[in-house]
Structure formats: structure tokens, C-alpha cells
Structure 1
Amino acid sequence: MMLSRRKLLAAAALTLALATANAGSQPADRVAVFESANATQLAASQKGKPFVLVVWSLDCVYCKRNFDAIGKLRAQRPDLRVVTLSMDSADALPQVQQLLQRVRLTRNAWLFGQEPQERLRYAVDPDWMGEMPRTYFYRADGQRQGVSGVISDADWNKHLRWAGIAG
């Protein structure tokens, strides 16, 4: 019952955010600060299109594998929408920007703000315990699937198809 209530509240918040998506969206190549209050803005920034949200950190060794896979996928599908969310603090911004430039994912980038990490993780997904990498596949209607760990090539294709992203 509690999980259903959470999903219903998340869907309602996403619907509201999608309706107001044009109000105050971030510039495309700037790393925006992610606070729990703007969690719906992250999804709304994609204006109802399917996309992939990649949650990562500079000290996550396995996150590099996901970035490599995303690089290959974007070479095959240049229209693949990717949003990144770094769990690093604001003082790591130069290193975050440098890595995002190297992997060519500077558009739609976010960085954890000053709130406690637990609160920020909860805002992303109440059921997520912080394991990384964490990847979310969003459908155009706002439904999403979260996947923890490194994703195999076959699983990337499976999840992209589920999200309605051509594959």
C-alpha cells in the first residue's frame, strides 16, 4: 500500500512538473544544482520525451563503464536523451565538468546540492539506497525503471526498448 501511494504521488508530481516544464528550465550546458525541492524539474527538463538518467560520482569506478556504454549508444543514436546527476559536492564542480566534457555529456547535467545526501537520494527515488552507478530509464509518460550497477549491452537495449527509445 505504501509503495503504491509513493508511486501515485511521484506520478502526480511528475505530471504537474511536465505541465510547467517551460517555467525556469536550466541552460543546456550548465551544471545545475540539484536540491530535493527541484527533483521534479529534473524529469520535467525533458519535456515529456523518453530519456536516461545516469546517477554517478567521481569516485565510482563502475560509473566509467556506464559512461563508456552511453558514449557508444549516443554514437549509434545521436538523439538519445541523457541527463546526468553527480552525487559529488559543489567543491568538486571543476572535476565534474571536466569528466562530463571528456564523455561528451555536458548537456542536462546536475550536481548534488548542500542538503544531506540521504534527502537528495530520497528525492530521486525513495527506494534507492545509494548504490552506484544507478541508471533510470524514463518513458514519455513519466514511468521509470531504476537499475543499479553496470549495465550489459543486452540490458541497455532491453531497457531502452522498454522506455520507448528506438532500438
Structure 2
Amino acid sequence: MTRLATLLAGLLLLARPALADVNAFGTGSLAQIEARRAGSDFVLVLWSVDCPPCLKELALLGTLTDARARQRLVLVATDDPGRHAEADALRKRFGLTDMEHWAFDATEPERLRQRIDPAWFGELPRSYRYATDQPRRARSGLLDAATLGDWLGTAITGPGHD
């Protein structure tokens, strides 16, 4: 009976939806992202499942058709691990599964926020523009299409992108 129970438990683990394309965001993750993207422009977008403006921003990000612009986005869900399945469902709903995505790996978001930016108090959405010729630039609040287009070097047109 013990073998059967072990086999069934293993099958249940395999049947569980995997979040393999989501990276665990820990205390050293920002440095890892910055090192991997050194010498290139990119935008770091912090969001949460409980943030209505974040959902509007995710919808805007989902309308991007420029593949190069989509590659310059790094999304970080700031929710605790118990909410990762919800975050993954939202990424799928908004068509963001092809973008680099991270999710907070700890239930101590204050510690991770401090590592990202000591001047950030947790307000969302929060974005950072990394440009090779400028210091990192922070922005709290919903990104509009014009700012996002400027940061990514692409025009964003279509319904709701005034």
C-alpha cells in the first residue's frame, strides 16, 4: 500500500499546474536581472493581483505587438506565494506569458521592496526604466501608453491608448 500511496502522491504533484516560466524573486534577483540585461534598455514593472490599476496596466502591456518591445519588459508580481496561481492566470488572461516574469518568493515583501528600492513604500503599480545612457528612473502609478511607448521606443496605438 505504501508504494501505491507514494505513486499517487507523485502523480498528483505532476498534475498540479506548473509555474516553470515564472522565476522566484528573492533578495538577489534584481541584481541578477540587471546583470543579465546590462547594456540594454528595459522596463521593470511591479504589480499585484489586488491592484486594480495594475490590471489596467497589464491590459495595456498585453496590447503590445512589437516583439522587441515585449522582450524589454520584465514583470514582477509582488504577491505572496499563496497568490502565485492567481498571478499566473492574469498573465495568461492578458497575453503576457511570453514576457520575462518573476514573482516574490517570500511572505516578507518589505524586505524585497527594500532591496528593489529603499525609497519605495509599496505603492503599485511601480515601474523602473533602465536606459543605458541614464540612471534608473522610478515611476509610481499607472503607466500611460505615451510614457510606455517612449520608454520602450515604440508607438502604442489602438483603442484606449490616448
State the TM bucket, normalised to the shorter chain.
0.7 to 0.9
Amino acid at match of 1:153: A
Give the C-alpha shift of residue 35 in structure 1.
0.9
Give the C-alpha shift of residue 166 in structure 1.
4.8
Answering whether residue 78 of structure 2 is matched by residue 101 of structure 1, we say no
Answering whether residue 110 of structure 2 is matched by residue 121 of structure 1, we say no
Contact 2:80 2:107 in 1 (8 A): no
In structure 2, the residue corresponding to 1:136 is in which secondary structure? strand
Aligned to 1:78: 67
Contact 1:58 1:88 in 2 (8 A): yes
The CA RMSD measured in Å over matched residues stands at 2.0
* Distance of 2:95 and 2:134 partners within structure 1: 25
* Distance of 1:62 and 1:31 partners within structure 2: 22
Aligned to 1:90: 81
Task: Map Cα deviations across residues 73-118 of structure 1 (whole Å, 9 max, x no partner).
Answer: x22x221111110011112222111111222222311111125211
* Distance of 2:81 and 2:114 partners within structure 1: 19
C-alpha distance 31-113 of structure 1, shift in aligned 2 (>3 A): same
Greater alpha carbon shift after TM alignment, 37-46 vs 95-104: 37-46
Aligned to 2:142: 150
The TM-score normalised by the length of structure 2 is: 0.72
Contact 1:82 1:105 in 2 (8 A): no
* Distance of 1:42 and 1:110 partners within structure 2: 10
The TM-score normalised by the length of structure 1 is: 0.70
Aligned to 1:13: none
Task: Map Cα deviations across residues 14-59 of structure 1 (whole Å, 9 max, x no partner).
Answer: xxxxxxxxxxxxxxx6111111123201223335321111100000
Contact 2:126 2:139 in 1 (8 A): yes
Task: Map Cα deviations across residues 114-144 of structure 1 (whole Å, 9 max, x no partner).
Answer: 2521110011111111100001111135731
Aligned to 2:40: 49
Runs of 4+ in 1 over 4 A off after TM superposition: none
* Distance of 1:154 and 1:43 partners within structure 2: 25
In the alignment, structure 2 segments of 5+ residues that lack a partner are 1-19, 156-162
Identity across matched positions, percent: 32
* Distance of 1:93 and 1:153 partners within structure 2: 27
**Which structure has the bigger radius of gyration?**
2
In the alignment, structure 1 segments of 5+ residues that lack a partner are 1-28
Amino acid at match of 2:85: P
The 5 A counterparts of 1:1-16 are none
